[in-house]
Amino acid sequence: SSELTQDPAVSVALGQTVRITCQGDSLRNYYASWYQQKPGQAPVLVIYGKNNRPSGIPDRFSGSSSGNTASLTITGAQAEDEADYYCNSRDSSANLYVVFGGGTKLTVL
């Protein structure tokens, strides 16, 4: 099965822009989706598909992809954006398997 690799930790100054990346072979064929998880809470979907936001997700969150790398960009990071972020995609085997990245801890300074 596929693997997705994320940087363990990233930091950003309040109000600045940050990019969180996710790498994996499956991303050459499938879009990544992104989840935000705050301590003690379930993950929340923030980006899916090419660059779609579920209802209620601020438009400062956006997604992009190039080759085997997907990115989640937060433009104008807010204090409440401090959280763990996970990417996922379908497995490159073309079966309906799902794989998750290891997660990135975002700190807003």
- The four Cα atoms 6, 70, 16, 10 give a dihedral, to 10 degrees, of 0
Q: Is 12 within 8 Å of 107 (Cβ atoms)? A: yes
Beta strand 104-108 pairing with 9-12: parallel
33 touches another protein by CB under 8 A: yes
Answer yes or no whether residue 61 interacts with another protein by CB under 8 A. Answer: no
Instruction: Let me know: does 22 contact 102? Beta carbons within 8 Å.
Output: no
Told to check if 68 binds another protein by CB under 8 A, we report no
- Binding segment for another protein among 15-23, 43-51, 73-81 (CB under 8 A)? 43-51
13 near another protein (CB under 8 A): no
Q: Which residues bind another protein (CB under 8 A)?
A: 1, 30-33, 35, 42-45, 48-50, 54, 86, 88-90, 95-103
